[in-house]
Amino acid sequence: MISKILQINLFAIFFLFLSTTGFSQKNDSLKYKTTVSGAFTATNNGISVIPTFMLGKPATIFDLTIRKKRFSFEPQFRFAIQDFKPWSFIFWLRYKLVDNKKLKIGVGAHPSTVFGNTAATVNGVAKDLITVRRFWASEISPTYLLSKNVSVGIYYLYSRGLADATKNTNFVALSGNFSNIKIANDISLRVSPQIYYLQMDTNHGYYVTSAFTLTKKKLPLAIQSIVNKKIQSTIPSKDFVWNVSLIYSY
C-alpha cells in the first residue's frame, strides 16, 4: 500500500514537471518561464509546518518548487533518516494573489499524507505496521515589507482531517522576518520569530517559536535552528522543542 502511494505521488510530480517545462519551451516567445528550485534538509529532529508537532528523531526533507508566473507547485517529502520510513508528504499548490514591492498576499491549498506506526498482531506474530492519515488544508499569508530586510505578516492555515484523523485544525500566526543581519564577512543571520494559536477540535493552545538561519554569500549551504516553546495549551505536546538542520539549496 505504501509503495503504491509513493509511486503514484512521484509519477504525478514527474508528469507535472514535464508538462510545465514543455509548456514553457513552446511559449518562449510569449515570455512564459518555468523556474525549478528546491532544497535538501538533514536535521537531528524533524519539526512539522506547525512547530508543535515533530518526528522526534533525525529526518531528511526534500523540497521542490516549480513556478510559472504567480502559480507554483511545491511538494515536500519527509523521511526518517534511520530507516528512511516516510514521515509525511505535502503537495502545495500556491498562487500570489498580490505581489508588489510592499505587500504580498499568497493563497494555497494542499492534500497531505502523514505516516505513523502502530503495533499489531498478524497471524500470531507481533508486527510494527505503517498507518496513513490524510488531510486537506488551505492557507492565506499576507506579508508587509517594512524595509528591505524587515517584514511582518499573518499566516492562517485550516486543515481538515479524513477518516480517523483530527477533523478541524486552525493555525493562526503573527510573524516577523529580519534578514541580512551581518555576523562576519559574507556571513549573515536571518531571524524569523512567530507567536501562534493552535486549535485542534476541542483542544487549543498558545506558543512562541523562531527560526535562526546562518548563510554565507555564494554558498548553497545554510545552518538553521528552530525552537518552539509552549505558553499555555491543552494539546498534548512537549513544552520545549528544538532542532539543528543543514540545508542545501539548488
pLDDT in tens, 173-213: 999 999 999 998 899 999 999 999 999 999 999 999 999 99
d(CA 229, CA 103) in angstroms, rounded, equals: 29
Quick one: pLDDT band at residue 82, thresholds 50, 70, 90? confident
d(CA 94, CA 71) in angstroms, rounded, equals: 6
pLDDT-above-90 percentage for the chain? 71
Q: 9-37: buried (b, 16+ CB within 10 Å) or exposed (e) per residue?
A: beeebeeeeeebeeebeeeeeeeeebeee
Q: Is the pLDDT of residue 12 over 50?
A: no
pLDDT in tens, 203-245: 999 999 999 999 999 999 999 999 999 999 999 989 999 999 9
Cβ burial of 54 (10 Å; 0-12, 13-18, 19+) is buried
The x, y and z cell numbers of residue 224, run together, are 538553521
Average pLDDT of the residues in 42-62: 93
Whether residue 152 contacts residue 176, with contact meaning beta carbons closer than 8 Å, is answered with yes
Q: Is the pLDDT of residue 16 over 50?
A: no
Distances (CA, A) of 74 to 4, 162, 201: 21, 22, 27
E strand intervals along the chain: 34-43, 59-68, 71-80, 86-99, 103-122, 125-145, 150-161, 168-184, 187-200, 203-216, 221-233, 240-249
The x, y and z cell numbers of residue 143, run together, are 506579508
pLDDT score for 33: 86
Distances (CA, A) of 240 to 25, 56, 193, 232: 49, 12, 15, 12
Closest by CA position to 202, among listed 158, 173, 169: 169
What amino acid occupies position 50?
I
pLDDT in tens, 26-46: 444 445 689 999 999 999 999
Domains annotated on the chain, with CATH: 2-249 (2.40.230.20)
What DSSP element (H or E) covers 72?
A: strand 71-80
